[in-house]
Copies of this chain bind each other. A is one copy, B any other.
Amino acid sequence: MVIEPSKPQYIQIADELRARIDQRVYQAGTSLPSEQRLADELGVSRVTVNKALTLLRASGDVKVRRGAGTYVRSLSRILRDAKRRYAARDHGTGAGEVEVTGLNLQSRTDYREIGRVHPPTAAAKVLRLEGDKDALVRRRVLYANNEPTQIADSYIPWDIADGCDALLRADAGKGGSYSRLAELGHGPVRFTEDVNVRVPDDAEQRLLDIEATLPVFEIWHVAYDAEDRPVELCIHVMPGHLWTLRYDWDDETRSGARH
C-alpha cells in the first residue's frame, strides 16, 4: 500500500481495507487483524487505524464484536417491494416476514408490546385522532437468521380495534392485521409511505444491534380504508445497509388521476 501525502492516512487505510475485503483477503464472517497489528503493518498509530475502521463501520462493511475483534459483514441487501409485500398477505402470514422467508433466511418476530396506548403526537396526527383518543399499538422486532432487520411499531385507532381480540394477540391470525381490519369494515385500499434516513437513537441502536453512525431508514406506512380514513400507521426503522426499497407505479398524466 502506497501512502500519498495529499489524502488523510485514515481515508487511505479505509480504502485499502475495503479493497482487501472486495478481494477476499479478508473473507465475509472472518475477523480482520487487530487494530494494533494493522497499525504495525501500516506504520501508523492505532488511533489512526481505529478512525479508518470508523468509516467501514458507518458504511456497514464491518462490525465490531467487543472484546473479540472486527468482523467482515456478509451484506446482501434484502429487497422490500412495497406493493408485493402487502399483496402477499393473502398467502399466509402478515407482510412482516415476506421478504425474509423468500430468501431462505430464517425469520423470527419478537413482540415487545401489544396494548392500548396514548400515541405520540405525530402518530396521532397522521391517524387523525382528535383530543386524547387512544390507539392499539403492536411493537415488534423482526429478525433474519437471528440478526435484527427492522423495528415495526403499528398503531391502529382504538375505536376501530376495540373488540377484536385477534389484534391483541401476537399472531393476529390468517392474513395478518389487515385481514382483521377488513373484517371490521375498514379494509385498507390505499397506502402511502414516507421515507427518511437518519441516525438511530440509543434504543434503536440496542434493538437493532447497530452503532450510532450507521444510518437507518424510517418509513411511515399509512393504510387508508375505502372512506379514505387512515386505519393504521406502521413505523418501520430499518438498518439502511440491509435493505433496498422498491416502488412502482403507472403514469397518471393521461388518464383521469386522483390528484
Task: Give me the interface of A with B, judged by CB distance under 8 Å.
Answer: 11, 55, 58-59, 77, 82-84, 86-87, 89-90, 188-199, 212-213, 215, 217, 240-241, 243-253, 257, 259
Contacts and interface: CB of A to CB of B under 8 A. Distances in A.
Contacts of A197: 197, 215, 217, 240-241
B82 A194 contact: no
A246 B193 CA distance: 6
Given A83-B259, A197-B217, A257-B87, A212 B11 contact: yes
A29 to B, nearest CB: 21
A245 B215 contact: no
Contacts of A196: 77, 240, 243-245
Contacts of A195: 195, 244-247
Contacts of A249: 82-83, 190-191, 247, 249
Nearest to A218: B244
Given A213-B55, A213-B58, A253-B87, A247 B244 contact: no
6 A-B pairs closest in CB distance:
A197-B240, A215-B215, A195-B245, A192-B248, A247-B247, A59-B199
Nearest to A190: B250
